[in-house]
Chains A and B, each alone.
Chain A
C-alpha cells in the first residue's frame, strides 16, 4: 500500500467514525475539597470586583475561613466514608487519586491554611495608617515603591484584600498537587499554586523592593525548574507512551506491551526513563527546597511578607513532599535501585548544608529558611525508607513541622521596631526579660525544631529516623542525628540570646496582636505540645493513611 493510500485511509477512517467524544466522568463529591476552595477563590475575585472597599475585608475573611473549614469537613467526610482506606481509588478519569495519603495531606494543608489565613488577616500589628488599620500587605501592589501613587494609596488607606482569593487559589493547587495521578495534572497543579505564591511574595507593605526582588527571583527560578520538570515529563512520555502514573509504573515494571507507532523509537528506552525521572524529581526537589535546588529559599523567605513566608514554608512543603512521595512510591518503585542512592546523596547534603549554613545566619527569617532546608533533608530520609512506615512517618512529620513553622513565623511578626519587623538576631537579645511569654512560646517552637523530647519535633524526627534505619540506611540516620546536633546549636543559641543576654536599650517591642494571630500561635503551641506528649494517636492515624492507591 502506498503512502498516499495510507494517508487517505486515515482520513477516511477518521471521517467515517466521528463518534461521540465521551464526556469525562467526574466524581464531584470526591473532589469537593478542591472544588470548594477553588469556587470560593472565584467568588473572592467577584467580591473584589463588586463589593465596596470597606466591606471587602470582612467578607473575604469570612469567605476564606468558611471555605477552608468546609473543605476540611469534606476531607473528614471522605475519610470517614472509607476513601482513605478500603474505597481508595483514582477519580476524574485517572487524573486525581483519592486515597489515604492524599486525604491526610489535604487535611493538613487545609488546617495549616486556615491558621495561616488568621495571620494574613492580622491588622493590629502595624501602626494605623491615616486612621485606618492595615495588614502586612502593600496598599497597592501595582504602585511603584516610594512613588506618588503609592503615597496616595497609603493615604487613602487602601489594603490588598485580594490576598484572600489568591491564597485560596494557591491552596487549591496544593490540594491537587499531592493527589495528582498523572504527570500533566501534577504540572498544572504545580503552576496553579506557584503563580499565586509569586504574587503573594511581592506584596510586603514595608521593604517593598526586597519583597519584589524576592518574588522575581522566586518566579525566575520557579520557571526555570518548571522547564526541567516539563522536559522530564516529555521524556517520560516518550519512554512510556503515557503520562498516567499507573501506566508509567506498568512499563517500568513489565516493559512496554503495545508500542505506539508514533513513539516506536523511544518507548522502553531506559535512558529516557532515567533522565526523565531525574528531571521530574529535580522539579519537586526545587519545591521542597532540597540542596542544590534550595537557593531561592533564604532570599524568598526573607523578602516575602512574614505571614506569606509562614504559609509558604508550611503548606508548600506538605504539598511538594506529598507529590514527591506519590511519584517515588507509585511511579518509580521499580526504579528504586537507581534513585535511592542518588536521593540519599541529596538528603545528606541537604541535612548538612542546611544545618551548617544556618550557623552563621544573622537574620531570624533566613535562619528559619535554612532550618527548613535542614528539615527537608530529615523528611527526605523518611521518604527514602520505601516502606509504609516511611510514608506514615513523613505524613506525621509534615503535620508536626508545618504547625511549628507557622507558629514560629507568626511570633516573628510580633517582634517589631520602628522599621517594621525586627528580624535581625541582635535585636532579639534579652527578649525573654522584656516579654517572657512571647519568648517562651518561641523557645517552644525552637525546641520542637531542634527535636527535643516532649515536642512534636522529637516524635516526628524519631519516626522518620526509625523508618530510615529499618530500611537499612543506618548511616543516613547517623548523619541525620549529627546534623540535628549541629542544628540544635543555632536553635539553642537563639534561646540563649533571648533569655540570657541583656536587653538592648533601643530593642524592639512586642506588639499586642489581635485574637487572630493569638489563635494562630496558640494552635501552633497546642499542636506542638500535643503531638510531642501524646503522639501515638496521630502516628496511628498517619499509619492508617499510608497506602497509595495505584
Chain B
C-alpha cells in the first residue's frame, strides 16, 4: 500500500510537466488533463484512506523510502514519504478541495487564453503541497515549502499584465522569503543539534535536548509559519495576494497553502511542548492575528480582501490552538479542515459573484444579488453560517472547541486568550454579516444597463454545492464521539483541557457574542441603505482600510531602514573594501614597476646580482648552522 504514496505527488507533478512543457498543442485538452490528474491523486488518497481506516490506530502510519537524496559523509537526506493520520487529513483536504477547484476553474478561466498554463501551475502547486505534507524529514518538507511558495508567486502574478498583480506577486514572494529563512535556520539548527532532519529521530530526541536550543528552533519554525500563514508580523502579503484569480485565492490563499504554518507547528509539536517560551510566542502570534485579521476584515469593501482578512483571522485561531499544546492540536487541525471547506466555498462564491458582475469586487456596487444567483446565494449563505459558528454547522464545532481550549490554558493567560477568542468570534460575526448583507441583500447598487448578474455555469456551481455540504456537516461529523480527535491522537497526542468555564457556559457565550456581532452588523448595514461611496469613517476604520497601517509600518521601518543600511554598506564597500583592493593592486603595480628596474639589460649588473645572491645564499646556509 505504501508504494501508492509517491503516486499522490507524481500525478500532479506529471500534469505540471506536461502542461508547462507541452506547448500549444495541449491548449485544448490542457485543463482536462490537469483536472483528471488532480482527481486521480484524490482517488489514490481515498484508496489509502480506506486502507488506513481498516487498520488499528497504532499501525496506520505508512512509510515509503524512494532513494537517498544527498548522502555526504555523515550527512544524509532521504527522499522518503510518511503518511500518518495528520498527513492523511491534509492529503484528503488538498486533493479533495484541489480537485473541486480544478473543476471550478474550467468554467472560471474559460475565456482566458493562458488557461493551460494556469492548470499547469495549479498542478505544480498540488504536487508541492503534497510533498510538503508527505515529507518524512524537514529538508524535504522545505522543498515542498519552497515549491508552494513558487506556485503561489506564479499564480498571484498570473495576470502579470496588471502591474498590481505583478507587484503583489513580488510582495508575497519577498515576505515569504523572510519566513523561509526562518525555516532554513531551524533546519540547520536541527542538524547541528540532532544530526538529522528526519521527523522521527528529531521529535523523539526533544526530551534530551536543552530548552534553549529547542526554543531557538521553535521560534525559527514560528517565523516560517508566520510567513507562509500570513500571521503578524509577516501578514502583509495576503491581502494583496487577492490579485490572483479567485480559484487561486480559494485553494492556495484560503484552504491549503496558508495553513502550512499550522501543519508545521503541529508536526513539530514535540519541540514546542518542550519549549514553553516558544509555545507562548505561538499563542501570542495567534491571538494578535485573529483580532488583527478580523478588524481588517470589517473595513474592507473589496469582497476578496474582506475574505482575506477573515482567512488571516481564522488561521490565527488555528495557530492559537496549536500553541496551546496537546489540548489544542487536534482542534487546530479540525478547524483547519472545516475552514478549508467553508472558506473555499466562500471564495468560490465570491468568484461566482464576480463572474456574474463583470469582475466587480467592490461590495458597495453589489446589493440584492440573492434573486439573480440563487445557488451562489445559498451556498455562500451556508458558508457564512458555518464561519460565524452558527450552532450545528461546521464552524460552530471547531471554533467553539478552540475557545474552550483557550480558556483551559489556565490562569490570567487563559482568561485573556479566551476573551480574545470570544471577541474575535463577535467581530467575525460582524464582518461576515456585513459581507452577506452588502452582497445579497438591500437594494441594487449596480447599473442594470451595464451589468447583467447571472448564475454561473455548472462546473462552477457544483464544486460550490459540494463545499457547502462540507461546510454544513463536516464539523458535526467530526464531533460524533470525538471522532476527529481520536483519529489524530496517535500523531498529535491529546489532553483534555480543564476550562474554568463549563462547556455549556462557553457555548452560550459564543452564541451570545455571535448574535451581538451579527445584530450590530444588521443595524449598520441591514436596516439602513449602504452608501455606494464609502464614508470617511472613524480613525479606526480608516486605519483598518489601510490594513491597520501594516504597509506604512513596513515602509518606514524596513524599507527606509533597509535603504539606509544599503547605502551605508555601499559606502563602506566603496571606501573600505574597494579601497583595500585597489590599494593592494596599486601597491603591487608600483612594486612591479620598481622591481623591473633591476632588469637593466646589462649582463654585468646581472652578474653582480648573481654574485650577491650567491653570497647571501652561502651566508644564510652558514647562519642556519650557527643558529
Contact = CB atoms under 8 A, between A and B. Distances in A.
Contacts of B606: 217, 221, 295-296
Contact of A357 (B599, B607, B612, B618): B599
B593 interface: yes
A364 interface: no
B201 interface: no
Interface string A258-298: 00000000000011001101110110001000011101101
A217 B601 CA distance: 9
B612 to A, nearest CB: 7
B618 A292 contact: no
Contacts of A282: 613-614, 617
Contacts of A296: 606
A274 B620 CA distance: 10
A357 B593 CA distance: 7
Contacts of A293: 610, 613-614
A359 B589 contact: yes
Nearest to A281: B617
Most interface-central of B585, B610, B624 (chain A CB within 10 A): B610
B195 to A, nearest CB: 30
B589 A360 contact: yes
B545 to A, nearest CB: 55
Interface residues of A, number: 40
Given A221-B610, A279-B614, A486 B621 contact: no
A270 B626 CA distance: 11
A295 B621 contact: no
A291 B598 CA distance: 12
Interface string A326-345: 00000000000111011001
Q: How large is the interface on B (under 10, 10 to 19, 20 to 34, 35 or more residues)?
A: 20 to 34
A248 B153 CA distance: 78
A228 interface: yes
B621 A357 contact: no
A224 B606 CA distance: 11
A271 B588 CA distance: 39
Contact of B609 (A278, A279, A281, A295): A295
Contacts of B598: 295
A66 interface: no
B47 to A, nearest CB: 50
Contacts of B596: 357, 360-361
A342 B591 contact: no
Given A295-B610, A356-B595, A278 B617 contact: yes
A341 B617 contact: no
Contact of B607 (A221, A341, A359): A221
B481 interface: no
B610 A360 contact: no
A220 B607 contact: yes
Given A220-B607, A357-B595, A292 B621 contact: no
A299 interface: yes
Contacts of B622: 271, 274-275
Nearest to A292: B613
A345 B589 CA distance: 22
Nearest to B604: A220
Contact of A292 (B585, B589, B609): B609
B614 A228 contact: yes
A342 B617 contact: yes
Most interface-central of A221, A270, A291, A356 (chain B CB within 10 A): A356
A217 B603 contact: yes
A337 B624 contact: yes
A270 B624 CA distance: 12
A360 B620 contact: no
A476 interface: no
B43 to A, nearest CB: 50
Nearest to B624: A338
Contacts of A38: none
Nearest to A353: B595
A184 interface: no
Nearest to B602: A217
Nearest to B598: A295
A60 interface: no
Contact of B592 (A271, A278, A360): A360
Contact of A345 (B585, B610, B620): B620
A225 interface: yes
A216 interface: yes
Nearest to B603: A217
Contacts of B593: 360
Contacts of A270: 625
A221 B620 CA distance: 23
Q: Is the interface of A mostly helix, strand, loop or mixed?
A: helix
Contacts of A278: 614, 617-618, 620-621
B592 A357 contact: yes
B625 to A, nearest CB: 6
Contacts of B599: 295, 298-299, 357
Contacts of B613: 282, 291-293
Contacts of B585: 489
B621 to A, nearest CB: 4
Contacts of A361: 596
A486 B624 contact: no
Contacts of A356: 588, 591-592, 595
A357 B588 CA distance: 9
Contacts of A281: 617
Nearest to B596: A357
Interface in A471-497: 486, 489
Given A360-B589, A360-B593, A224 B607 contact: yes
Most interface-central of A228, A278, A486 (chain B CB within 10 A): A278
Contacts of B621: 274-275, 277-278, 338-339, 342
Contacts of B592: 356-360
B580 to A, nearest CB: 14
A293 to B, nearest CB: 6
B588 A292 contact: no
A295 B607 CA distance: 9
A387 B413 CA distance: 71
Nearest to A342: B620
A25 B487 CA distance: 95
A485 to B, nearest CB: 10
A488 to B, nearest CB: 12
Given A341-B624, A357-B595, A279 B618 contact: yes
Interface in A181-238: 216-217, 220-221, 224-225, 228
Most interface-central of A342, A353, A361 (chain B CB within 10 A): A342
A299 B607 CA distance: 14
Most interface-central of B591, B606, B616 (chain A CB within 10 A): B606
B618 A275 contact: yes
A339 B620 CA distance: 9
Contact of B588 (A221, A345, A486): A486
Nearest to B614: A282
A421 to B, nearest CB: 20
B627 to A, nearest CB: 9
Contacts of A286: 610
7 contacts: A278-B621, A279-B618, A292-B609, A292-B610, A293-B613, A342-B617, A360-B592
Interface of A: 216-217, 220-221, 224-225, 228, 270-271, 274-275, 277-279, 281-282, 286, 291-293, 295-296, 298-299, 337-339, 341-342, 345-346, 353, 356-361, 486, 489
Given A357-B592, A360-B592, 19 more contacts: A217-B603, A217-B606, A220-B603, A221-B603, A221-B610, A278-B614, A282-B614, A282-B617, A292-B616, A295-B610, A337-B624, A338-B624, A338-B625, A339-B621, A342-B617, A346-B617, A357-B595, A361-B596, A486-B588
For the complex of A and B, 9 pairs with smallest distance between CB atoms: A292-B613, A295-B606, A359-B592, A360-B592, A278-B621, A278-B618, A342-B620, A217-B603, A338-B624
